Amino acid sequence: MVMFNITEVRQNASKIISHALETKEPIVLLQRSKPVAYIIEAKAFEEIQKKAKKVEQYEKIEMAKDTLKRLAKLRGEMKPQPDSTPLIRQLREGEGRNE
């Protein structure tokens, strides 16, 4: 990987970009000896973006699968509840009232 400082980029931008296109290697831009940016071929950047989207979709699918597994586990742990219809009928018809 080739490194250039900002001053070199200002003076030789077209040569540096040509180098990136010819070698297909990223170029590191330095400012005060620290990396601040990369110059990469547009096609390489587009491939990175596609891969990042695929990873994001995969992560969403995995989260959904995990959520469904947790819901299934909770559903299995739930105790069956008695049917409340007879109780409601008794209350509506007045049975069970203290008259």
Q: pLDDT tens-digit profile of 70-88? A: 999 988 888 877 888 888 8
Task: Please tell me the CATH superfamily of domain 1-40, with its number.
Answer: YefM-like domain (3.40.1620.10)
Tell me the per-residue pLDDT of 27-77, one tens digit each, with 9 for 90 and over: 999 999 999 999 999 999 999 999 999 999 999 999 999 999 999 998 888
- pTM equals 0.59
So where are the chain's domains? 1-40, 41-78
Largest pairwise CA distance in the chain: 99
Say if residues 45 and 51 touch (Cβ distance below 8 Å). no
Among 16-20, 84-88, 91-95, the least confident range: 91-95
Scanning the structure block, which residue is given the tokens 């000896």? 33
